[in-house]
Structure 1
């Protein structure tokens, strides 16, 4: 909406045009900051109302596959879940208000946020309203993959004729591998993997939220750089005209998560559920695909990667040996089983996430 107004009132903005950032004449920096503030205010202001509504309808069921874990988390049973509804709502409001709606990248980001949010809400609803633990792993993966294929096909149509548009770019050095049409499958895999990585990390109060804030901030910077010709050239990063518009959506995501963390920090008043973890994870994956920085996604989201690997390795090791590799997966539960306080675990994971984000952003200059 703001972009439309700026275009239609362009004569009044002629003298300010030189102050616009990068290749955008519509104040990308200001709109990114405004999106973050707008989504924060929406999430923070409507949080109490949303929590009261969720509390009367959607309380977290404690029914994991581990009896001991259920016992340790028994006190959380009355906490409302599906708080991702006001995360997704805040992102969409801020994105629609501050983003350039003519940008295919913004359109794709809004589509991913809305559809993965709906999928997560369906999974949470089944978990709460039935005796099942949500959708089966096969059902969830299939639906995620279908949605991701739709977006990756759309992204392929936008990127296929751009330099580096279909390449996997190694952040250090100039190694690049062209994927061609295989990009569609690869992109779907990245989005689904990122979505599930965040979902697996969402197990302690504020854990996934804090890590997402850090990762989202890093990708706000990375997308801004990728859409700024001068900065991209200076840092030897792939340049994609218009990619900077995604920084508005990532700013909105960071703001929404900050507003949500106000209520999600220990002891949590609300959980995001799959309604929040699936769309935010998928949005991170989309951002990495647009700017061709999947390798940096693995570094920025290193906590999510390790949490996912801990589950895969635990299952594989148990099948091979009949024993557990760690006390309980994902990894954060291992520390819970060891008796570490929840706050200590969460803060240490945040610190790890921040360090990884710094390494990833700093690596842009190492060529």
Structure 2
């Protein structure tokens, strides 16, 4: 427990102390132009033109440093988790670099998805092999009734699907100042607790959730992310001094997915991370409906842009999404307590 607290404080203080210097460095090299597929959205967001981006480099640095200081580096979950975060951060940086240094609006959807799937499958194979070596059951936990669905080798496909889905959902949510980072703080706090419980046989048995030997070490990784996000939000709140970019959103999304897979709490992630789910679904439904009928179901997707188009102040939208995220976390935790 002490290492979890220390990891949170280390990453928070690192981000807070080095944030101003990092923002100045990013300001000189990576300033994001307001450029989207919607002219109206560009007009609404015009004040954000040339804001420094790729602030995810600061977040991922805080995560790695705090984890190296306080995590058990011999633990296979820590090793794989760091690979996940760094690989997706690298992909995000590639996408951000393409947006900033070329006339293209980042990597194509197919390019990005192909690399995401490749990384996710590779990491899922490592996870499956590590769990087989330690005789850990690969299963999907259903919190309503405490049932477990054996996955076996299917864990590879399932873990890859969860990783790609969650990283993209967080990426889509990152559109307003402090929106993704604030919502992620709520969910990450929950998964610090859930991974700690999963790695503690006494607490896991009391709450009738799966016990995962060594899985509690992921709580150090998640607390490192939590502290980094708290420090980043200091600079990312409205009006944002820096954006995390895909470098940040893809890496923290993949790390959250990894924690959920390790703790066997993917279903609970759908509830606690409901804001990310709704944001992603709003895009899928909007695109699908437009292709089928030529009509849009909301003014602009993702959902937070709908409220922008409606004329709601950005701070009101963000705070209400934070509140929704906090309420969903409470509902998710409640499912573990009411059985």
Common fold: TM-score over 0.5: yes
Partners of 2:142 and 2:154 in 1: how far apart? 18
Conservation of the 8 A alpha-carbon contact between 1:222 and 1:361: no
Work out whether 1:242 is the aligned partner of 2:224. no
Partners of 1:281 and 1:174 in 2: how far apart? 26
Conservation of the 8 A alpha-carbon contact between 1:165 and 1:292: no
Alpha-carbon offset, residue 162 of structure 1: 6.8
Give the equivalent residue in structure 1 for 2:39.
Answer: 67
Give the equivalent residue in structure 2 for 1:218.
Answer: 190
Partners of 1:161 and 1:310 in 2: how far apart? 40
CA deviation string 1:167-217 (max 9, x = no partner): 111101032222221210111010010100000000000000001111110
* Structure 1 segments unaligned to the other structure (5+ residues): 1-28
Conservation of the 8 A alpha-carbon contact between 1:149 and 1:185: yes
What is the SS of the residue equivalent to 1:180?
A: coil
Conservation of the 8 A alpha-carbon contact between 1:198 and 1:208: yes
Q: How do 1:254-269 and structure 2 match up within 5 A? A: 254-269=226-241
Work out whether 1:358 is the aligned partner of 2:323. no
Work out whether 1:36 is the aligned partner of 2:8. yes
Q: Could you say which structure has the larger radius of gyration?
A: 1
Give the equivalent residue in structure 1 for 2:166.
Answer: 194
Partners of 1:365 and 1:40 in 2: how far apart? 30
TM-score (norm 1): 0.91
Partners of 1:149 and 1:41 in 2: how far apart? 34
Partners of 1:108 and 1:277 in 2: how far apart? 19
Task: Pick from 103, 116, 130 the counterpart of residue 158 of structure 1.
Answer: 130
Give the equivalent residue in structure 1 for 2:66.
Answer: 94
What is the SS of the residue equivalent to 1:177?
A: strand
Alpha-carbon offset, residue 326 of structure 1: 0.2
What is the SS of the residue equivalent to 2:140?
A: strand
* Structure 2 segments unaligned to the other structure (5+ residues): none
Partners of 1:245 and 1:163 in 2: how far apart? 17
Give the equivalent residue in structure 2 for 1:324.
Answer: 296
Give the equivalent residue in structure 2 for 1:107.
Answer: 79
Work out whether 1:173 is the aligned partner of 2:125. no
Give the equivalent residue in structure 1 for 2:27.
Answer: 55
Give the equivalent residue in structure 2 for 1:118.
Answer: 90
Partners of 1:46 and 1:353 in 2: how far apart? 28
RMSD of Structure 2 on Structure 1 (CA): 1.1
Task: Pick from 114, 117, 135 the counterpart of residue 142 of structure 1.
Answer: 114
How many residues get paired?
Answer: 339
Partners of 2:321 and 2:295 in 1: how far apart? 26
Alpha-carbon offset, residue 362 of structure 1: 2.1
Conservation of the 8 A alpha-carbon contact between 2:34 and 2:50: no
Work out whether 1:272 is the aligned partner of 2:220. no
Give the equivalent residue in structure 2 for 1:315.
Answer: 287
Alpha-carbon offset, residue 300 of structure 1: 1.2
Question: After the TM superposition, which parts of structure 1 deviate over 4 Å for at least 4 consecutive aligned residues?
Answer: 161-164
Alpha-carbon offset, residue 150 of structure 1: 1.0
Give the equivalent residue in structure 2 for 1:343.
Answer: 315
Partners of 2:125 and 2:235 in 1: how far apart? 37
